[in-house]
A and B are shown apart, each in its own frame.
Chain A
């Protein structure tokens, strides 16, 4: 396929997006079915065109067509195929193309499977999608065109940043974008609902699956980024509160709030305008993340090559999207019908408090991230805040939230009985005490041990309480195995999903607390035959050799580690120097023993001595971070498979399941 075909398809997608943005909107206002019906075919055509453009660019990368500037700047013939493909989105222009492709796929999915949607809501939601598409397509075509050619054709490309040549990072951006762009669906439906002037349970039922899918992808996407930082940056840290990390974490926090407030709208028709606001804010924050990363107004280790012209364009997009939707919100929100009432002790209240904590946490992280900008604008001087700020303000917000997470799912709608719920959790509380005592007895009584054990106890609370709730719903211990299985099958998938996700959060908290409290490290300049000790492991160095990879040269060390009289494991950390661009990376060797990692890094040594600086880390509970994130993502998907969340599932089927579960 020829890059010009891709370029042409992309240029055609812009007018199609414009048609999708305005014709159905006009049709919806005039109640003209024919005009509204334009939305669906336009969305499908848009996906085809952008898909063609993306395929053309991918083809240029695979074929190493260096006459395309973008390929020349970001690829190399010696690169493995996987990284030629991931090179498509490993740069600014290509990643934006991926962004609009995902947007178009989501739009086409609504067009194709949204048959049961009310016509006007569907037309308006697709129109809003068309507007977002228009903005981003214009951005790509006018400032960031990936199809520009260069003459004469260079013989070889400049290569992809070696840090990005990694399987985890190859799929990290698509996951993240599936999350960001997924929230655009919630945004489009929110704006459509405001235009409609009507938010009801059916609306929430439509938005929930999109939000759930977006949330699951974003969770896994952030997790992949963290995992990558952990094994690739070579110093055993997994979260740095860097602006770019925060840019993906802030929409996750508000997206999590949205996920929960939608339940209240669906079940009780309350919190409507708050939910609409959250849907708008979550996508706006996703756009803000794009702006922060692209414009270079904040310093970050992850920054792509940035360009202020692009910054102006993204800011204009941001201003139009956020300004337009929030102005509409300011006009229409006060006119939304008030919803059902509830008492301060109820499931609704629980979810509202959850939302307040999450929104506050999001605002806190946002403030910390933007603080250098705000301080500068107010002429307060040049100030910045780092990890200490975030840890100090974030943890106190999360502790009560997690305590509440244990109780909330057991509360009844409308009016609940807190004493009754706590009585049911007696067993869980007993378990928490046991876990806390056990953690203390195994670790010690230093301040850090107490803090770590408290974190583990908090996780145990969430885990046991979630289990108690689930066990109560399936009547575990009360039914015969056959009946129990029937009961488990009958329980809505969404309930199983919630339990898995909440337990995943508990597992994640174990990882965060344990790795923060009990990480150990040792460092030594070593020659062959010498041994370094960390956390009871004896790690012996057997020498290093130079090996040749597909596009790099590597010094690979061989180590064997034993603990007590256990079996030895072999570790082979590397230090790579890539050919093009000539850049060095460290590849840590990590041995995972279910609950802890042994992490060995080969550093540079004094020249020509055959000795190397070796760092060995004992990273307890770090694997729990990844288990927890996977469980959360899995919980989201299980919940998504619930019949009631299936796109296009007839409403009647949903109410039957509701009755059955009663």
Chain B
């Protein structure tokens, strides 16, 4: 038999538990907001890999679409690597920008198709356009883990020595591109 109304000591605890949980959550949110005001961009997470050489990767190509992506391809010139997947809704929102970047043809843009069926990746590219120079498929997250990817989309800028110089989490906006990524690419080229 129960009546759902706390009256014992454990009942008192049950009554206090909700406020404790709520306070904890508020603290978590407040920390996040303070971080954001302190300059943290929620879309740009500090990566342990920043300013370290790109991890060793050797990714298979999508069937019928040129060569795959290896570490060698990320050396010798400034490159941009974009992590995406056909399942990723947010990737769709940055896609027109990537298409524009590809059309300008000023910088090699490579893709890593993360946790995706190769057919689905190809269909997605056929549907939305294919801005990538090289694409490697990463079905079991080996590259994603090596790059410290937290979610799709994510974009890395790699300098000519193959060192990761910048990481952007989440969709890139026109502002991100014009004010951060494009100037950085220019700077790295000099």
- Tell me whether A270 and B3 are in contact (CB under 8 A): yes
Name the residue on B nearest A343 (C-beta).
B1
User: Do most interface residues of chain B lie in helix, strand or loop, or is the interface mixed?
Assistant: helix
| A627 on interface, CB distance cutoff 8 Å | no
CB neighbors of A among B6-33 (8 A): 6-7, 11-12, 15-16, 18-19, 22-23, 25-33
| A482 on interface, CB distance cutoff 8 Å | no
Interface size class of chain A, counting residues whose CB lies under 8 Å from the partner chain: 35 or more
B41 to chain A, nearest CB (A): 10
A291-B29 in contact given A297-B36, A615-B127 (Cβ < 8 Å) = yes
CB neighbors of B among A282-297 (8 A): 284, 291, 295-297
| B37 on interface, CB distance cutoff 8 Å | yes
Q: Contacts of A240 on B, CB cut-off 8 Å?
A: 89
| A443 on interface, CB distance cutoff 8 Å | no
- Tell me whether A330 and B128 are in contact (CB under 8 A): no
| B150 on interface, CB distance cutoff 8 Å | yes
CB neighbors of B among A265-289 (8 A): 270-274, 277, 280-281, 284
Complex CA distance for A35 and B96, rounded to whole angstroms = 60
- Tell me whether B15 and A333 are in contact (CB under 8 A): yes
Q: Which of B11, B23, B26 has the most CB of A within 10 A?
A: B26
Name the residue on A nearest B6 (C-beta).
A334
Q: Choose one: A327, A377, A386, A387; the contact of B19 (CB below 8 Å).
A: A327
- Tell me whether B169 and A272 are in contact (CB under 8 A): no
- Tell me whether B151 and A333 are in contact (CB under 8 A): no
- Tell me whether B15 and A272 are in contact (CB under 8 A): no
- Tell me whether A326 and B22 are in contact (CB under 8 A): yes
Number of residues from B at the complex interface, CB < 8 A:
46
- Tell me whether B42 and A297 are in contact (CB under 8 A): yes
- Tell me whether B126 and A329 are in contact (CB under 8 A): no
- Tell me whether B15 and A334 are in contact (CB under 8 A): yes
Complex CA distance for A300 and B19, rounded to whole angstroms = 28
Q: Contacts of A525 on B, CB cut-off 8 Å?
A: 126
Name the residue on B nearest A349 (C-beta).
B2
Name the residue on B nearest A355 (C-beta).
B4
| B93 on interface, CB distance cutoff 8 Å | yes
> What total of A-B pairs shows CB separation below 8 Å?
144
Q: Contacts of A277 on B, CB cut-off 8 Å?
A: 18
Q: Contacts of A376 on B, CB cut-off 8 Å?
A: 32, 45
Q: Contacts of B127 on A, CB cut-off 8 Å?
A: 235, 523, 601, 603-604, 613, 615
| B76 on interface, CB distance cutoff 8 Å | no
Q: Contacts of A301 on B, CB cut-off 8 Å?
A: 89-90, 92-93
| B123 on interface, CB distance cutoff 8 Å | yes
Interface string of A595-615 (1 = CB under 8 A from B): 000000101100000000101
A308-B22 in contact given A291-B29, A299-B170, A377-B28 (Cβ < 8 Å) = no
CB neighbors of A among B36-53 (8 A): 36-37, 42-43, 45
Q: Contacts of B92 on A, CB cut-off 8 Å?
A: 233, 301
Name the residue on A nearest B26 (C-beta).
A319
- Tell me whether A382 and B150 are in contact (CB under 8 A): yes
| A384 on interface, CB distance cutoff 8 Å | yes
Q: Contacts of A370 on B, CB cut-off 8 Å?
A: 25, 28
A299-B15 in contact given A308-B37, A338-B5, A339-B3 (Cβ < 8 Å) = no
Q: Contacts of A298 on B, CB cut-off 8 Å?
A: 42
- Tell me whether B33 and A297 are in contact (CB under 8 A): yes
| A374 on interface, CB distance cutoff 8 Å | yes
A299-B42 in contact given A338-B5, A384-B151 (Cβ < 8 Å) = yes
Segment at the B interface, from A77-85, A310-318, A451-459, A637-645: A310-318
- Tell me whether B22 and A311 are in contact (CB under 8 A): no
Minimum-distance CB pairs A-B, first 5: A326-B19, A382-B150, A271-B4, A333-B15, A299-B170
* 18 CB < 8 A contacts A-B: A240-B89, A271-B4, A271-B5, A272-B4, A274-B4, A284-B22, A299-B170, A323-B23, A323-B26, A327-B19, A337-B5, A341-B1, A376-B32, A377-B31, A382-B150, A603-B128, A604-B129, A615-B127
* Residues of chain B at the chain A interface (Cβ within 8 Å): 1-7, 11-12, 15-16, 18-19, 22-23, 25-33, 36-37, 42-43, 45, 87, 89-90, 92-93, 96, 123, 126-129, 148, 150-151, 169-171
Task: Contacts A273-B4, A273-B5 known; list 14 others, CB within 8 Å.
Answer: A273-B15, A274-B5, A284-B22, A295-B33, A315-B26, A318-B26, A323-B19, A326-B19, A329-B19, A374-B28, A376-B45, A525-B126, A603-B128, A604-B127
